[in-house]
Amino acid sequence: MLRSTRQRFGSVAILFHWGIALGVVALYALGLYMDELEYQDPWFNSAMELHKGLGMLLFAAILARWLWRLVDVQPVPLETCSAFEQWSARVMKAVLYLLLVLVPLSGYLISSAEGQPIDVFGWFQVPALISGLPEQGDVAGEVHEFLSNLLIALAAVHALAAIKHHVFDHDDTLRRMTFRPLRFSSRE
């Protein structure tokens, strides 16, 4: 089932969710790693190219996720969840969505600071639409680092919450974001 239902996420949303999650974690690790590399390190150039290329592809995937969300059905919160849980899940989701756009955007602004396009694995180039702002590269760099740390921290909380629901509450919070059958599939 491509589309989501009121009860569970469809395969498109599931693939987006886990693909983007994997991408975020990989890019975060790669970012920390490349920041430590010395100029003469064999990975100095390719780590940066990989980070930029994957970052732009992930940015595209996130924007595509937003578009898909517009036409997809939104699963409703589980009835077993408390009002606080429903509210905090909604806030967390909104903040994560926002960060998923702001992190790649701030990264893009580092590279575009002097007008150079961003090369994506030699396949195509993303033009520098915004450049020459005062101290653009440095400010964007600080913002990128801060927001990346925030994104990873919040994603960890988000993941812990899902695990809590799965292991302790035995509900379908995690299951409905996978291809496994629901525990309480009543109206599917």
Partner 1 sequence: MKQRLFVSLLLGCTLSLSAGAAWAEVERYVIDTKNAHAFIQFKISHLGFSWLLGRFDRFEGQFSYDPQHPAASKVEVSIETASIDSNHAERDKHLRSADFLDVGKYPKARFVSRSYAEQADGKGVLEGDLTLHGVTRPVTIETRALGHGPDPWGGYRRGFEGTTRLVLKDFGIDYDLGPAAREVELFLSVEGIRQK
Partner 2 sequence: MTTVAASASGPAPEVEQYEIDVGNMHAGIQFKISHLGFGWMLGRFNRFSGRFAYAPGHPELDRVEVTIDTGSIDTNHAERDKHLRSADFLAVEEYPQARFVGMRYTRTAEGQGVLEGELTLRGVTRPVRIDVRELGHGTDPWGAFRRGFEGTTKLVLKDFGIEYDLGPMAREVELFLTIEGVRQTEVWR
The Cα-based distances of 164 to 3, 36, 154, 172 in angstroms read 26, 35, 15, 11
Q: Please report the beta strands in 8-143, taking only residues with DSSP state E, as ranges in sequence order.
A: 118-120, 124-126
Q: Which residues bind partner 1 (CB under 8 A)?
A: 38-40, 48, 110-114, 116, 131, 135-138, 141
Q: Rounded CA gap, 18 and 68, in Å?
A: 15
Part of the chain binding partner 2 (CB under 8 A), chosen from 42-50, 57-65, 148-156, 179-187: 42-50
Q: What does the per-residue mask of binding to partner 2 show for 53-92, with x meaning CB under 8 A?
A: ----------------------------------------
Part of the chain binding partner 2 (CB under 8 A), chosen from 4-12, 93-101, 110-118, 147-155: 110-118
Contact in structure between 102 and 147 (CB atoms under 8 Å): yes
Specify the residue, 24 or 110, whose C-beta has the smaller distance to partner 1.
Answer: 110
Q: Rounded CA gap, 116 and 150, in Å?
A: 28
116 counts as binding partner 2 under rule CB under 8 A: yes
Where does this chain bind partner 2 (CB under 8 A)? 39-46, 49, 114-116, 119
